[in-house]
Structure 1
Amino acid sequence: MTSRGVPVVPAVAAATAIIFFVLTAGQPTATAAIVEHTFIVSQVNMTRSCKETLVTVVNGQLPGPAIEVTEGNSLSVHVVNKSPYNITIHWHGVKQRLSCWADGVPMITQCPIRPNHNFTYRFDVAGQEGTLLWHAHVGCFRATLHGALIIRPRHGASSYPFPKPHMEIPMILGEWWDMDLAQLDRNMVDGDFLDNPTAMTINGQLGGPFDCSGIVKDGFVLDVETGMTYLLRLINAALFTEFYLKIAGHKFTVVASDANYVNPYTTDTIAIAPGETTDVLVVADAPPGKYYMVAVALQTPKPDQQLPFFMTSGTVQYRSHNNGTRGHHNVAPVVPDLPDQHDTMTTYYFHGNMTSLRHPRRPQVPVHADEHFFVTLSDGSICRHGHPSCKRSGSNESILVAAMNNVSFQLPV
């Protein structure tokens, strides 16, 4: 197996370009558009929390470029690895029917893309609608190598099983790490979980309230107009953190999760775990002004290991009816009443309210199961090199492993 794939398209066609053309091969009675992207993986210096950090990103962006396809399209992504690390890209949640080779899991479905090599992912995006994400699947690099993957219905927004929104906005929640992510991965393998992110982000921004000069900084700003409905495509790209998200003075109507429509329900708090996506409608029906959008990091209560308190914020800001510009510049934003960071019941009830919406173009879920499986998941550590005994808990003599039904995976040498 080799990491060198189909040659990359010329630079003039590349980085964020999307090329549509009719695919005539295959079924002569059907047509499918091909959506084509080029991802340049490289390292750039970015400043967050008043410190410059070398980070690995796609096309110089954090988050990386959003990919938008229509259900039934084919996707072709040329990945050019200009970083010093092995890289693969995983298309999180894509079912990969008849294209498991494109799933992007290193040493399982493909060899990693080595530095100064390239690889082309090609697969169909069929039978799914909604929001997913793409991210790196090597080490901890998904903390900075990630972006939205939006699958639109083939009959347009008018076929949404909910009121058509006036605007759609991808919102990616994440973690910012000052440290080298390759070292973070090595620490985790050795069982060292003492490292913590520096801050939390919304669409790559820390959210203030002040920048390094002490000037008030808004962070991510969502401009809205009174009476309009907005579809927020929420994505949690964090390594470890589950978030609670609230917007002061507003409610959410949950309409989809992980590219599956759900029966709509209304809540004032979103719970979203790492790798999860949630589509919500927000109506701009509050008195005109500025409102904080706040994400707080959830963690389990003691005696589990406790992390520092993390939160990040953005601003929902109503535009003026007169000239379309932002108004209320001198008005302090309204702050939401947030759940406690140890309140695990809120996420329990949030996810318990999700029920699948019957899709007219999908088969019904079978009522009776033919086979039953009992699956156990566990974490632990084993001695290196097959030794019968060793020191644990951060010792170089042991390695951290996860197991399914008491079977774990070891990377090939």
Structure 2
Amino acid sequence: MPTALIESLDHEGRGVAHADGKVLFIEGALPGEEVEYAVLKSRPNYAQAEAVRILRASAQRVAPPCPHFGVCGGCAMQHLDPLAQTAAKQRVLEDAFWHVGRVKPETVLPPIHGMPWAYRQRARLGVRRVPSKGGVLIGFHERRSSYIADLLSCKVMPPQLSAMLPALHALVERLSIPDRLPQIEIAVGDEATVLVFRNLLRFTEADHRQFAAFAEAHGVQVWEQPGGPETAALLYPSGAPGLSYSLPEFGVTLDFRPTDFTQVNAHTNRLLIRRALQLLTPQPGERIADLFCGIGNFSLPIARSGAHVIGVEGSDALVERACANARRNGLEDRSEFHAANLFEATEDSLAALGRLDKMLIDPPREGAVAVVKGLGEQQLPRRIVYVSCNPATLARDAAILVREKGYALRSAGIANMFPQTAHVESVALFELA
């Protein structure tokens, strides 16, 4: 069996090596290790492989505590020490800046990290009924597969959710439509936990009795979702309070629906907001745009500083939620929110926002290329803070800001929003040079 010496980690947490003129991406291998590997897929210039035996282990290798690790695709880095994970993600960000954008930050920010386990307050679990495997399977997808990894515990979920998984299996088995229930979405707020059952057929009266008993026994809310996200509705217990999370440092509380986008890691989200506002330095009287603003996660802390924030978001429902959150927090006079497709932003559409002193951008994985290209000479904020969940698109957009728009990349660093996974969240500061 072939062997390889691992040189680094790639953006998916795989070990990188070279052999026979090809780049090897080896799952389960860490930098500095010598491993035996088996090829899974071969192409002319690269091959995907998995480590079969570790001949010389890294000092940073640890024993994965989760019995599902290696099968479940939810985590890819449990075999690497948490502090080493953070360092590896910082290298992924710096490599992306250079290899994709040919830019380098003047300062590398200290990494943001928090609890390595029990942090995940959002999860979308797949459900499949497979009689040959014993019945209902509930969990994340398996690695490299559309199959469901059947989870009876999960180390990255809060303990009460992990402990609830066996009972959740039993509940779904008892329902009338276990084979027409493709997913269960879990959302945790400060005061409530919601389970949204995506149902392709109507539930029966017997199902409703099961849900009521489950909600009472486990202290959760049960919702159904027969169609799109807007159809999600509370079933039990009736009259239960909505979901919300607080940002105590800024005196802000945000309401959200279980199908809304919110960060999965509440603790790290608070630290990330603190870092972003430290970089942005909002001041009373400034006009600051928050693009891809969602429910107001960054907007309302900016408004609390005394600046006037203009939030823009593609979803009408999220814009409504942001407006309601501004009213709840007494910040409606310092904020305004608009619905617009920022992936089609132009110089004219951005100019319509009026004078902007500063800007915060927090796009999805696709990045914000239309926004950065659309910044006109008369509409250049003197400072831009860019929060990213994809180093490659951040680096691409950074190259445009630096080479075409006259900005300097002052600083950048990572926030380990998803410990045990290869996901890299980051924040960067750009200033007009």
Shorter chain as denominator, the TM-score bin is under 0.3
Q: Which has the higher helix share?
A: 2
Q: Which has the higher strand share?
A: 1
Provide TM-score, normalisation by structure 2: 0.26
**Larger RCO of the pair (alpha carbons < 8 Å, separation 6+):** 2
